[in-house]
């Protein structure tokens, strides 16, 4: 099968979150299964720094607008692990300081930027090769699905090609003024409540939901959650209508990068059967955060996160005064909302013997925390898929998570410590604190804790099973279109 991925991010070229990891790892697994995969990505300024002079595949692809044309070059990003990368080069749209926004807000022409991306991919694939399926991701490429069923409805080579939309986070939808429908040369009769209109705005993500042949989310629980007002962000009704075409497929982990047996970023390697190296990783982590004389009986709690309310950072700050009374030290890495950056920094200064925070993102330090901590905290308000809890399992770093989205699907708690982690269900700091205390109680019993670590490390969240589930969805929508 020939699959074209259309996305705004793909690691290592362009990354702000889990989307980039999925668009990087899933195609590699599909190729190993015998499929042909091409990935199209904008040629951002950041990509150009990594790949400064890629060969030109198509020197000019025309993307029409009402009173002018845009012209895109298609660049050859090379083949990585069997996956063919293509970069869509439109300098006036993508040669910018960041991917989506400035500190003062979103780029005002984001509709044109990502509308151009969608049409350029469709036009380029007519020349480079028509796929069996277009796999589009989040709002930035969701309109490709709507364009297939409107602008390209009568195109003889594209009209029968199905599309699959993966929603990585329904909180980001791509809302634009009504006139955007005209800017993108799409028919006005699509600007209705049952199609693209939402609260008198054009909604890119809704367009994908309505017109894609199937929709997936990044966990089974999140597929159910987004059909409710709490998580649907206004799209729950349209998602309910598509419930028969909506599938939850839990993200896999890239164990070629996240594996304590081979990780080049950690102080010592270890496995479930030979755990000695984890003690060295713990010492290295404490040294990296300038802790001294921490007892082996003191639990090292780790957090790697965006500092935002969605990630439950308000829970961390709410319980901090009581948490530091426990026999723990806490190391935190991340950045995000200025309020939480400052508050966490102040708390680290208030409790210098217990708390350390690094306000930045550092991939090496992230690996050190996964390997060196005893317990990993993920109190997310919502978490569509989540990857850090899966990495933590592999490293024998027991997760404490809120039972939402992929966190609910990937972590198993049992009263006797026979599971792989700890969960809390209510959105309340007290519930979070209780879950941490349950973890600390089990941590004191080294025999039970070691068994839990080994059980967690033996869990398999590789991409093989999710990739097979995606192929089943591809086959279904191809069959329905023929």
**CATH at residue 77:** 3.40.50.2000
- Verify that 334 and 413 share a domain, yes or no: yes
Residue 386 lies in a domain: yes
Give the domain extent around 415: 276-457
Residue 268 lies in a domain: no
Report the predicted TM-score, pTM, of the whole model to 2 decimal places. Answer: 0.91
- Verify that 231 and 310 share a domain, yes or no: no
Residue 453 lies in a domain: yes
- Verify that 63 and 18 share a domain, yes or no: yes
Residue 450 lies in a domain: yes
- Verify that 334 and 452 share a domain, yes or no: yes
- Verify that 244 and 317 share a domain, yes or no: no
Residue 271 lies in a domain: no
- Verify that 73 and 52 share a domain, yes or no: yes
- Verify that 90 and 214 share a domain, yes or no: yes
- Verify that 385 and 409 share a domain, yes or no: yes
In the chain, the number of structural domains is 2
Residue 175 lies in a domain: yes
- Verify that 232 and 346 share a domain, yes or no: no
- Verify that 119 and 231 share a domain, yes or no: yes
pLDDT (tens, 9 = 90+) of the chain, 482 residues, equals 999 999 999 989 998 878 998 999 999 999 999 999 999 999 999 999 999 999 999 999 999 999 999 999 999 999 999 999 999 999 999 999 999 998 888 999 999 999 999 999 999 999 999 999 999 999 999 999 999 999 999 999 999 999 999 999 999 999 999 999 999 999 999 999 999 999 999 999 999 999 999 999 999 999 999 999 999 999 999 999 999 999 999 999 989 889 999 999 999 999 999 999 999 999 999 999 999 999 999 999 999 998 999 999 999 999 999 999 999 999 999 998 999 999 999 999 999 999 999 999 888 999 999 999 999 999 999 999 999 999 999 999 999 999 999 999 999 998 877 899 999 998 899 999 999 999 999 999 999 999 999 999 999 999 999 999 999 999 999 999 87
- Characterize the bridge pairing of strands 398-402 and 375-378: parallel
Residue 266 lies in a domain: no
- Verify that 442 and 474 share a domain, yes or no: no
- Verify that 358 and 210 share a domain, yes or no: no
Residue 259 lies in a domain: no
């Amino acid at each position: 099968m020939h699959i074209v991925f259309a996305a705004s991010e793909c690691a290592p070229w362009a990354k702000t979150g889990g989307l980039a990891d999925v668009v990087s790892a899933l195609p590699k697994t599909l190729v190993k299964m015998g499929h042909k995969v091409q990935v199209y990505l904008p040629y951002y300024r950041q990509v150009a720094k990594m790949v400064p002079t890629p060969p030109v595949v198509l020197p000019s692809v025309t993307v029409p607008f009402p009173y002018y044309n845009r012209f895109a070059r298609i660049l050859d990003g090379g083949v990585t692990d069997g996956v063919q990368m293509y970069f869509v080069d439109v300098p006036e749209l993508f040669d910018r300081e960041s991917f989506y926004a400035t500190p003062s807000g979103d780029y005002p022409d984001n509709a044109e930027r990502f509308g151009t991306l969608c049409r350029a991919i469709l036009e380029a694939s007519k020349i480079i090769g028509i796929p069996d399926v277009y796999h589009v991701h989040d709002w930035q490429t969701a309109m490709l699905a709507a364009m297939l069923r409107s602008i390209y409805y009568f195109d003889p080579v594209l009209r029968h090609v199905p599309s699959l939309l993966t929603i990585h986070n329904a909180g980001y939808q791509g809302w634009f003024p009504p006139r955007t429908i005209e800017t993108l040369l799409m028919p006005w009769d699509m600007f209705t409540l049952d199609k693209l209109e939402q609260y008198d705005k054009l909604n890119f993500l809704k367009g994908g939901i309505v017109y894609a042949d199937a929709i997936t989310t990044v966990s089974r629980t999140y597929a159910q959650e987004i059909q409710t007002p709490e998580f649907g962000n206004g799209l729950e009704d349209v998602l309910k209508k598509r419930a028969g075409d909506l599938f939850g497929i839990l993200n896999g982990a890239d164990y070629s990068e996240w594996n304590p047996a081979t990780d080049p970023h950690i102080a010592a390697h270890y496995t479930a059967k030979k755990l000695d190296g984890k003690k060295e990783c713990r010492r290295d982590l404490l040294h990296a955060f300038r802790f001294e004389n921490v007892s082996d009986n003191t639990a090292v709690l780790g957090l790697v996160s965006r500092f935002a309310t969605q990630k439950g950072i308000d829970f961390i700050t709410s319980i901090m005064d009581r948490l530091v009374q426990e026999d723990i030290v806490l190391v935190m890495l991340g950045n995000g909302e200025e309020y939480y950056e400052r508050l966490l920094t102040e708390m680290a200064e208030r409790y210098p013997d217990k708390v350390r925070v690094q306000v930045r993102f550092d991939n090496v330090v992230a690996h050190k925390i996964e390997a060196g901590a005893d317990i990993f905290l993920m109190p997310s308000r919502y978490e569509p898929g989540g990857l850090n809890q899966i990495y933590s399992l592999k490293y024998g770093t027991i997760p404490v998570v809120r039972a939402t989205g992929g966190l609910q699907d990937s972590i198993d708690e049992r009263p006797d410590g026979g599971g792989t982690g700890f969960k809390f269900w209510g959105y309340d700091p007290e519930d979070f604190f209780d879950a941490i205390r349950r973890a600390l109680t089990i941590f004191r019993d080294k025999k039970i804790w070691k068994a839990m670590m080994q059980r967690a490390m033996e869990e398999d969240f590789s991409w093989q099973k999710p990739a097979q589930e995606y192929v089943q969805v591809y086959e279904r929508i191809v069959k329905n279109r023929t």
